[in-house]
Amino acid sequence: MGENSEGRTGYPFLLPTLAAMLRFLDDARQMKTTPRRQSCDEKEPFGPGCRDFFWLVCRLIDNVKKEDAVKSWQEVSERWSEGGEGGK
């Protein structure tokens, strides 16, 4: 993930953004591209579709630090073992 001239990255927003996008996974699967008017300089004649959604999700996942992924997985595993969310 890149950084600005002050050395800041957008990493603090990555996991919340990914979590929000994953809540719309079922909706994204049903997205259809729609033709739109094409000007001479446009490369793609269609609007955004599920391919764009999944491409972005993959890019976000690729940028998650291993330590954060392990920590998140451990938290979920603990909830499952305690019979909490997801363990029913």
pLDDT higher than 60, residue 56: yes
Residue 62: inside a domain, yes or no? yes
Residue 32: inside a domain, yes or no? yes
What residues make up the domain containing 26? 11-36+43-81
In the structure, how many helices (H) and strands (E) does the chain have? 4, 0
The pLDDT mean for the chain works out to 79
Residue 69: inside a domain, yes or no? yes
pLDDT digits (tens, 9 = 90+) for 19-45: 999 999 888 888 877 776 666 566 665
Residue keyed to tokens 């291993």 = 66
The model scores a pTM over 0.75: no
Overall number of domains in the chain: 1
Residue 88: inside a domain, yes or no? no
Tell me which residue of 7, 17, 8 sits closest to 60, measured CA to CA: 17
- Residue type at 73 in one-letter notation: W
